[in-house]
Amino acid sequence: MGNGGQDGYAPPIDPNVGSLQPSSGDTTASHAQMSRATVKGPKLYASTKSLAAEEEAMPANPKTAQFTPVSMNSIVFHSFLGFGLHGTVAACTYQGVPRAIKTVERKYREQTNTINLEARVYDHLPAVQGIHVPRVIAKISLLSYTILGIIMERGEEVKWDDLAECRAAKASLKSIHKYRVLHGDVRAENFIALPPVGADCVGTATCSMCGFRAEQVPPFSR
């Protein structure tokens, strides 16, 4: 028998597990694979406890968006527009222009995951920014990277009794679906009305989608 390690242990081959190397386009072996490997090959992963510890120490999202550190003095906060489990949205002024900002605290992992996902969704949709999703002005970090934020153009509440705006909202949803983006939290609060943009939008309502919560990250699957 060949030696599988310094102590001579050779983990048995389990055809149901296969290689623990991530497949092309993936970033991690599945938790189920690791759990089975723990049983079959204790020298690869010492115990379930160590797996849990590793998961706890792992960054919220290893493939994160880039957030640029800025001073709190560069942003003037105004009224709060919305609160939730996945962040806070406020009206603000940034570089002298009225904007909206969504912020999360990095100590809350689910919030960090959500804003990373949302930032990457916007990066994935440059062609429809300012039309079907808000135009992103900056992705920032504040207070020594303890707060992450996305500054975007500020919109207005959608008038749901206006047929044109209702149709524009539906068009936004269809538009992001063409890019294989799943929104994950489709509700009235996650639409904003923007001024018409582009020749094909003159004289028409433009509604953008925000507040993405889908479990997917780019590249998106079917």
Q: What is the pTM of this model?
A: 0.66
81 with 145, same domain? yes
Residue range 190-214: average pLDDT?
70
Residue range 15-43: average pLDDT?
38
Residue 93 lies in a domain: yes
- 3-state SS class at 109: helix
- The mean pLDDT of the chain is 73
Identify the weakest region by mean pLDDT among 60-74, 80-94, 157-171. Answer: 60-74
Provide the Cα torsion 131, 133, 139, 145; round to 10°.
160
Residue 220 lies in a domain: no
Q: Which of 72, 66, 33 is nearest to 51 (CA)?
A: 33
CATH code of the domain containing 104: 3.30.200.20
How crowded is residue 33: how many other Cβ atoms within 10 Å of its Cβ? 17
101 with 119, same domain? yes
Number of domains in the chain: 2
- Which has more confidence, 5 or 107? 107
Tell me if 83 sits within 8 A of 129, measured CB to CB. no
Domain of residue 34 covers 30-59
Residue 42 lies in a domain: yes
Is 170 labeled as ligand-binding?
no
Model confidence pLDDT, tens digit, residues 137-170: 999 999 998 999 999 999 999 999 988 888 888 9
CA angle 19, 20, 21 (to 5 degrees): 90
